[in-house]
Amino acid sequence: MATHEPIDAYAALEQAIDRVAESYDGRHEIDSLESAALPNRRAVIDALNHLKPAIYLGFYSRKPLTRASLRFCISEHLYPAFDILTEQIHRAVTYNDTYHLEQSPRPRSWSEQAVLRLFQRLPHIRTQLNKDVLTAFRSDPAAQTVEEIVFSYPAVEAITIYRLAHELYVQDVPMIPRIMSEYAHGGTGIDIHPGAIIGECFFIDHGTGTVIGETCVIGNNVKLFHGVTLGALSSPHKAHLSEGRKAGKRHPTIEDDVVIYSGATILGGETVIGRGSVIGGNAWLVESVPPGTKITYDARLTVAQTRRDGTHS
């Protein structure tokens, strides 16, 4: 019943708060107070959680759907998605233009158009995702139904968000595509940069730890496993880059019909994995391989026999 904190604890807290407030002295980049101008990560995620049902309506709706109610049910997701995304993109664009480009910001209508262009692409994206889902179904003997793939496969989550984020990336929307892809990364362990270009019928099995870099180009019918890195040979410090953010093609090209098993690492912007190749698990590749190559990782292992009771000698 008594007040738990003696007065001096709160007095000391007040002093600590003073010190933290003083630390916002403008000497750190993270001291920026322009909060109202910044996009809100939570809102971007909300928008994604409206776009996914618009794509897989029958899998998300908790209400009975009929042809007559279908259009409304899509509107119910796309209206809020439009309002939220327009607002968040407008914030990102305004902030970017004002503080980084130091020019007068693009008008709100620019952001509206960016969202509308994404929405106009949704029928196409749905066709692509349908192929991705079917590919997953055909590839995984453990999958019993298409439904369980849409419901539970992390790759579907990651690829869906990638395909949406990519549409904004190609329109040069700042910040938002990356917020989207890192959200997918956090939930699935699959890190697909929104700048990557990925063909049809793409699947990643298990997926945790797989990384697909910004300038990757991936063909059709490519299947990856978990722990696959499609990365840059080395990450030069920005200071070494020529002007502008584009650092050139730094990540590999994977042609059609390639399979890359778990733990394989393929690095470099000029590395091309030729059509139909199969890259074995744990492989490490920094050079191109011609079409039809089959790489098998040949682990060198030292084997010692212990006593039969299983304790090591």
- Across 16-51, b (16+ Cβ under 10 Å) vs e yields eeeeeeeeeeeeeeeeeeeeebebeeebbbbbbebb
Residue 106 binds a copy of itself, judged by CB under 8 A: no
Reference 164, options 42, 38, 47, 39; nearest CA is 47
**Per-residue binding letters, 289-308, with a copy of itself (x by CB under 8 A):** xxxxxxxxxxxxxxxxxxxx
Instruction: Establish if 104 lies at the interface with a copy of itself (CB under 8 A).
Output: no
User: Can you tell me which of 114, 159, 178, 272 binds a copy of itself, judged by CB under 8 A?
Assistant: 178
Site for a copy of itself in 223-242 (CB under 8 A): 223, 225-227, 229, 231-232, 235-239, 241
Residue 237 beta carbon to a copy of itself: minimum distance, rounded to whole angstroms = 6
Q: Does 268 bind a copy of itself (CB under 8 A)?
A: no
Which H/E stretch holds residue 130? helix 122-139
Asked if 312 touches a copy of itself (CB under 8 A), the answer is yes
33 is a contact residue toward a copy of itself (CB under 8 A) = yes
Question: Does residue 101 touch a copy of itself according to CB under 8 A?
Answer: no
Copy the structure tokens of residue 300: 């060198």
Task: Return d(Cα 311, Cα 198) in angstroms, integer.
Answer: 49
Shortest Å, Cβ 90 to a copy of itself: 8
Looking only at residues 135 through 174 of this chain, which bind a copy of itself when binding is defined by CB under 8 A? 137-142, 144-148, 150-154, 174
> Which 196-215 positions form the footprint of a copy of itself (CB under 8 A)?
205-206, 208-209, 211, 213-214
Selected from 63, 102, 104, 243, the binder of a copy of itself by CB under 8 A is 63
Paired tokens of 302? 């030292």
Cβ pair 115, 82 in contact under 8 A: yes
Q: How many CA atoms lie within 13 A of 225 on its CB side?
A: 14
